[in-house]
Chain A
Amino acid sequence: AQTVTQSQPEMSVQEAETVTLSCTYDTSESDYYLFWYKQPPSRQMILVIRQEAYKQQNATENRFSVNFQKAAKSFSLKISDSQLGDAAMYFCAYTGANSKLTFGKGITLSVRP
């Protein structure tokens, strides 16, 4: 079974600084997708970024980028120029051939003004 691990329960970053959120996963599949989701206080889960396992290039969406290390089964999210609106829970997630979506425990990110 696939597992997703987010070992840091909380992190804090100064506004305008950069922060990296860690995620590791375990799988025996070769074709899969990884995602980072954001859950603000409104509770609505929002997709931040996705990465296909077969793509060597790390995904980027504006201030958000990932560091995908397939051999190490690591998938970290970097947030550049942090903004107050980035404060939320962030979840790392995995989906493979059976389409089941498995989540990590999440990390609460706070942004200091």
Chain B
Amino acid sequence: DVKVTQSSRYLVKRTGEKVFLECVQDMDHENMFWYRQDPGLGLRLIYFSYDVKMKEKGDIPEGYSVSREKKERFSLILESASTNQTSMYLCASSLWGTGPNTEAFFGQGTRLTVV
């Protein structure tokens, strides 16, 4: 079974803190994604990586950065957390391309609260 593991299920941080959300997958997937989920807004893509050290901005990259030094690990960084970054964060991974087995697999989500 594919496993995508996020480092924390719940996280509380203070405004201005640097926050790291970690995601690890064990299926040798090329693609990894970070989404933010807010009520009424669905899942919005923050950043996408299709290979080690490669990244692309998604729809809402402002205030975030990412790091992918190893294929299995994709980190989301909030350089200076703000209250408007309080949200649910979902990590996902998938194979590259549009073949029959390219669906995304998700972690369990991290609910981040910035106070």
Residues of A within 8 A of B (CB): 6, 9, 31-33, 35, 42-45, 47, 50, 52, 91, 93, 95-106
State how many angstroms separate the Cβ of B94 from the closest Cβ of chain A. 7
Known contacts A43-B88, A99-B50; is-contact A104 B42 (Cβ 8 Å): yes
Residue pairs across A and B with CB atoms within 8 Å: the count is 66
State how many angstroms separate the Cβ of B110 from the closest Cβ of chain A. 10
Q: State whether B42 touches A103 (Cβ < 8 A).
A: yes
Q: State whether B98 touches A32 (Cβ < 8 A).
A: yes
Q: In the complex, how many residues of chain B place their beta carbon closer than 8 angstroms to a beta carbon of chain A?
A: 28
| Among all A-B residue pairs, the 6 with the closest Cβ atoms | A105-B42, A45-B106, A103-B43, A43-B109, A106-B42, A47-B103
Residues of B within 8 A of A (CB): 30-31, 33, 35, 40-45, 48, 50, 56, 58, 88, 90, 92, 94, 96-98, 100, 102-104, 106, 108-109
Partner of A99, one of B40, B42, B58, B97: B97
